[in-house]
Structure 1
Amino acid sequence: MLLLGIDLGTSSIKVAVTDALTHRVLATAQYPDTEAVIVSKRPGWAEQSPDLWWEYVQEAIRRAHALGDYDPMDIGAIGIAYQMHGLVLVDKEQRVLRDSIIWCDSRAVPYGDRAFAAIGEQRSLERLLNSPGNFTAAKLAWVKENEPFVYEQIDKVLLPGDFIALRLTGEATTTISALSEGIFWDFASDTLSDDVFRYFGFDKGVVPSVRPVFGAHGGVTADVAAALGLKKGIPVSYKAGDQPNNALSLNVLEPGEVAATAGTSGVIYGVSDALTYDPGSRVNSFAHVNYTAASSEARGVRVSEVGVSEARRVGVLLCINGTGILNRWVRDITGGDYEALNAVASAVEPGSAGLKVLPFGNGAERIFYNKIVGAQVLDVDLNVHSEAHLYRAGQEGIAFAFRYGLDIMRGSGMNPGIIRAGNANMFKSPVFVEAFVNTTNVPVELYNSDGSIGAAIGAGMGAGIYRDGREAFAGLKPVKLIEPARAAVYDELYGEWKEHLSLFI
């Protein structure tokens, strides 16, 4: 039995085909070759076309098939991971009504702030575990007020992964995890939030059928199967946001376990067994992939059947919008490539000869109470600093931003003894890994895993191919352990960087 994992990222679509029995990755593919465009019609706005996502998904799957490393007709289940918090709107004909307002879009912050005050800050935190902020519900409120002609045509409100599953199966479904990341879910009652729907004036009928993360989200339609060389009826058996899925891919499922990723955005994601929240919503809590509740049991959903705990599991998420996107910006303006960037940055001593970078140029940052700080390049010495210093200062600035956010998480009781990460994106840079490990003073285990592989594992769990978690993660082994060796040096550098940051927040 083969498993197909799809990872809908901001920059590209990645797919992986794995052998469920041997856990071998048989093929991977990515599309497009250049990073997908984020459309920003106004400062602070960020949109992408869902229909373009679907085109990219199909091309990535065809690329994987074309490698000739497996028989596509042996694929027995599909899992989907996706960029979180995006708003996708479809009408009764399942046509997309507008481009998706994606995760790093800041326009809805005032709508979320007003809802936070109207619902009551303490009530919001206790029931939603967050301020509505600029999450999906607040984005829908923006559409309701500013584009009533669009709002009136809405049949279903989807998260990005829900949309890809819709295109594969023709069925509109969602999950508690997805609803929680959109701030539609009330954790106190384990139902759709009456507070949110009442305040914004939303009709609950726009919410698709709620299914378990690991479970049936429909079967591939005959037309799609024919177009993609798949068997008709293959189940989409798993859907999760990219960060819960990244945690799953690293077997981060139980309290105290922590994962990290550094793609377009940077994330540290820890698991708790408590309905925990940050009073300032600087870090955010959502239902993890193995979150269960009384309402789930009432639907006959037993997560224990796929080998994970029935107890509540909440993912505590630190997100820094400006991470890999800052690294990409440096690459683009200097005309280099990532390999060359890392090589020349390695030749520069820690601290980049005093050059400092604040990597916050990708919209409102939650760690600063949804303030737009902007990216800053500070203390430039034109007689000293070169492209190599800028490369290193950028990567160090990203690591320092992680430390800033991790300290917030530590204040809420999340104190990781080790952090697991995929050997991908910025964790492939020795400069960044050195700065990250020493600045946070936490060892990092690297794994040859990514979001598409995690989605394939999830598909196997949801389809019942794996009897338990031990089977699902039998092939997961760390490829490298990096431990702090210069923590005192980086702690001092971080203190200097944080002083400069204080001038802007």
Structure 2
Amino acid sequence: MYMGIDLGTSSVKVILIDEAGTLVDEAAVPLTLSRPRPLWSEQDPERWWDATQAAVRHLESRRSLDAVAGIGLSGQMHGAVLLDSNDQVLRPAILWNDGRAGAECRELEQREPASREITGNLAMPGFTAPKLIWVVKNEPDIFARTARVLLPKDWIRLKLTGEAVSDMSDAAGTLWLDVGKRQWSPAMLEATGLSERHMPRLVEGTEVSGVLSVEAAAALGLRPGIPVAGGGGDNAAGAAGIGVVDPGMAFVSLGTSGVIFVADATLKKDPERAVHAFCHCIPGMWHRMAVILSAAATLSFAARLAGAADEASLLTETEAAGLPTQSRLVFLPYLSGERTPHNDPTAAGVIFGLDGTTTRADLGRAALEGVAFALADGLDALQARGGTIGGLSVIGGGARSKLWGRILAAALQRPLTYHRGGEVGPALGAARLAMIAAAGASLDEACPPPPVSHVIEPEAALMESLEPRRALYRRLYSDLKSTFADSVS
């Protein structure tokens, strides 16, 4: 068997697949998020390791893990885990959806004018490098003690193997990588007061990065010496899980954040539209992404706000109410700011059009539509320079909702293909990368598209009813943009 560990924002998921790539078992342990100040988002890395141990132990309680022959990693990108010379964590990790480093992004690009050319990307607050400039300014004692900076999943790797290693896809999201050359950029590191000695060793996602240590094996109930693959950032690993490994293939991810991902044979940059251009976890491949910061997080917020028992209950109630042909209720899902296409950390969530008849189901429907409109903006950005994108596969926890699929297909005006196991895409991709690294499986053998569960076609009537609300959605952001910025200055 092969194990995939996915360190998400809301949970750690661990799955097992067999030699045929079939999902054998899975377990998840929830995580909590800390927002101690406006725009801040942090987690304690030690809780990641606690959750990883608990999830693996859940699997071990149900079946023997003696046959595990390889481990792969995926996880939330961009987070800054600062370690001292003894590899001890110095402060809570600053996460991908943290918006405190807006001014530092501008400073970074001033310090290194070739930043966008080197990295292929616009400097955004969620990326790792600007966070370190913020630490220099605001926590100089912490920065002075920082001997190593790791990404979240790579901190888990350190706990598993004792090795400080990252893969190309995750490293590409730091703004320290020369994305075209697939190596650390001395110029970008110098611009943040760091050098290559602060960075982990780089491998491809399909390579062995180390082996499971005796200590970690004892903690997890596994045998020592199991190879650990390079793995990938959550979306690149999700691409491996869904079989998006050839140029032009694409998917949409409905996790805590939302992503439209396109695989590319060459590096295609479009930083002006806040399109992400990163290395794939597959050697010799790259990818582009449109990223929104709140997807399933928007649904969770709406359920909590409206007093629903949970997200599933809100979805059930929303579906039972039906989809209106006319409404002006619009939800801007900018609960953590926004990336593509706005690159606006000050953007905030807005519910517009409330009246005395608004129901909980109305709020649920508006939340689903708001995420769909945000992703449609991202699709427009991807297509502005990269050409037309056809049908999309769907992964992530939000893939479980057929109602959301109907709304999303109509907003994107594309058919959506759902695959068996798509809801665990990144963890599945991590396990598949482990199969390649540990067993020498070929890409075709390890990463085929999973069997199709169903396809949702866009509905003409729903497409027509969404158009006026999408126009209002876009106008609201334009009207409120300066107000968002003023409210946090």
What TM-score do the two structures reach when normalised by structure 1? Answer: 0.90
Question: What is the SS of the residue equivalent to 1:37?
Answer: coil
Alpha-carbon distance in 2 for matches of 1:226, 1:65: 12
Gaps of 5+ in 1: 293-312
- What are the equivalent positions in structure 2 for 1:387-402 lying under 5 Å apart? 387-402=360-375
Within the candidate set 37, 41, 44, 1:42 is matched to 37
CA distance in 1, matches of 2:73, 2:56: 13
TM-score (norm 2): 0.93
1:83-482 paired onto structure 2 within 5 Å: 83-120=76-113, 123-134=114-125, 135-292=127-284, 313-336=285-308, 337-346=310-319, 347-350=321-324, 353-382=327-356, 384-422=357-395, 424-449=396-421, 450=424, 451-466=426-441, 468-473=442-447, 476-482=450-456
Equivalent residue of 1:377, what SS?
strand
8 Å Cα contact 1:17-1:25 kept in structure 2: yes
1:222, 1:80 → 2: CA distance? 19
What percentage of residue pairs aligned between the two structures are identical?
29
- Aligned-partner SS, 2:107: helix
Q: Is the 8 A contact 1:130 1:281 kept in 2?
A: no
Over aligned residue pairs, what C-alpha RMSD do you find? 1.7
Q: Distance in 2 between matches of 1:317 and 1:275?
A: 12
- Write out per-residue CA displacement over residues 208-243 of structure 1, whole angstroms, 9 at most, x where no aligned residue: 222222112111111221222211110112321101
479-488 or 365-374: which moved more? 365-374
Partner of 1:269: helix, strand, or coil? Answer: strand
Higher mean displacement: 138-147 or 53-62? 138-147
Q: What is the rounded CA distance, in whole Å, between the counterparts of 1:187 and 1:457 in structure 2?
A: 24
Give distance in 2, aligned partners of 1:146 and 1:88: 16
Whether the aligned pair in 2 keeps the contact of 1:421 and 1:444 (CA below 8 Å) is: yes
Q: How many residues align?
A: 473
CA contact (8 A) 2:267 2:287 kept: no
Say which SS state the counterpart of residue 130 (structure 1) adopts.
coil
Read off the aligned partner of 1:148 and give its amino acid letter: P
The one-letter amino acid of 2:220's match is L
Q: 1:333 Cα deviation (Å)?
A: 2.3
Residues 369 and 363 of structure 1: is their aligned pair in 2 closer, same or farther, counting only changes over 3 Å?
closer
Misfit runs of 4+, over 4 Å? none
Contact 1:352 1:392 in 2 (8 A): no
Deviations 1:179-209 (A, max 9, x none): 2110111235543213212222212210122
2:86 alignment partner, SS class = coil
Aligned to 1:295: none
Q: Is the 8 A contact 1:175 1:213 kept in 2?
A: yes
Q: Report Cα offsets for 1:388-410 as digits up to 9, x if no partner.
A: 11111111111111111111111
2:324, 2:386 → 1: CA distance?
30
Assess, with a 3 A threshold, how the Cα gap between structure 1 residues 116 and 97 changes in structure 2: closer, same or farther: same
Q: Which of 18, 22, 27 is matched with 2:25 structurally?
A: 27
Contact 1:323 1:398 in 2 (8 A): yes
